[in-house]
Amino acid sequence: MKLRLAHLYPKLMNIYGDRGNIMCFERRCRGREIEFELDELSIGDAFDPGAYDLVFIGGAQDAEQRRVVDDLRDVKGEALQEYVERDGVLLAVCGGYQLMGAYYRSADGGELPGVGLLDLWTEHPGPDAKRFIGNVVIEWEGETLVGFENHGGRTHLGPRARPLGSVVTGFGNNGDDGGEGAVCRNVYGTYLHGSLLPKNPRFADHLLALALAGENGDVRLAPLDDMVEEQAHAEALRLATRRSIIRR
């Protein structure tokens, strides 16, 4: 088996170690003797909708989002749409997540059009608004995902998106409705940095299995030794819930 991964704008859209998610995919493939192929696509590079099993885009501040937005829509937008219609798997974090929606209104009031792969929109109330910063725990399919969020934008889901999970501690999409992240088809968006996947190995495997299923049918991933990952998860969970108790 082979996993073909596209990393969008690895230099521009990469904060809080989002690249760690790529390393995690690679490690979890190589540990199972699944071939791993990585393409880094930046501004000006075309996206071939038939060439990948998995796509990743990380987070960034408003300035970097502004730099990639035209390319995302005009150069890659249509091909990404086709990829998603073929049930391609995509993971988007924070600033990248915001750009998967209809639009992101940034802190200065300017509107950045998104690619519309997730039914959602995001508005930043302005430079004086409270930023949503801190450790997050969400409930996802009967277990927990841990991460770190830092965003000013408030994301609201339309009827064709469902939240990835529900907030246990932290702010999530908008600090209001208890939802975190979004899922439409095989497109996953979340505010969780961390980076996300190394501390949530079961979520990483969920995405991997989904991605490999496209070419290989139902895939059963062999278990890996996740002792370090599980310890990191448990520690993040402990810190996040302890802080939330102190805050009250």
List of residues contacting ligand GLN (CB under 6 A): 15, 59-62, 65, 94-95, 98, 124, 150-153
Residue 184 annotated as catalytic: no
Among 7, 124, 156, 193, the one annotated catalytic: 193
Burial class (CB in 10 A: 0-12, 13-18, 19+), 35: exposed
Between 28 and 105, whose beta carbon lies closer to ligand GLN? 105
Alpha-carbon distance values, 172 to 60, 72, 144, 163 (Å): 17, 25, 14, 10
Between 167 and 208, whose beta carbon lies closer to ligand GLN? 167
CB of 23 to ligand GLN, least distance (A): 19
Between 31 and 134, whose beta carbon lies closer to ligand GLN? 134
Instruction: Give the residue among 131, 142, 199 at the shortest CA–CA distance from 171.
Output: 131
Residue 24 annotated as catalytic: no
CB of 122 to ligand GLN, least distance (A): 7
Between 49 and 152, whose beta carbon lies closer to ligand GLN? 152
Among 7, 94, 124, 151, the one annotated catalytic: 94
CB of 151 to ligand GLN, least distance (A): 4
User: Which residue number is nearest to ligand GLN in terms of Cβ?
Assistant: 59
Cβ atoms 116, 80 nearer than 8 A: no
Upstream peptide bond of 195 is cis (omega within 30 degrees of 0): yes
CB of 240 to ligand GLN, least distance (A): 17
Between 148 and 212, whose beta carbon lies closer to ligand GLN? 148
CB of 124 to ligand GLN, least distance (A): 6
List residues with catalytic annotation. Answer: 94, 193
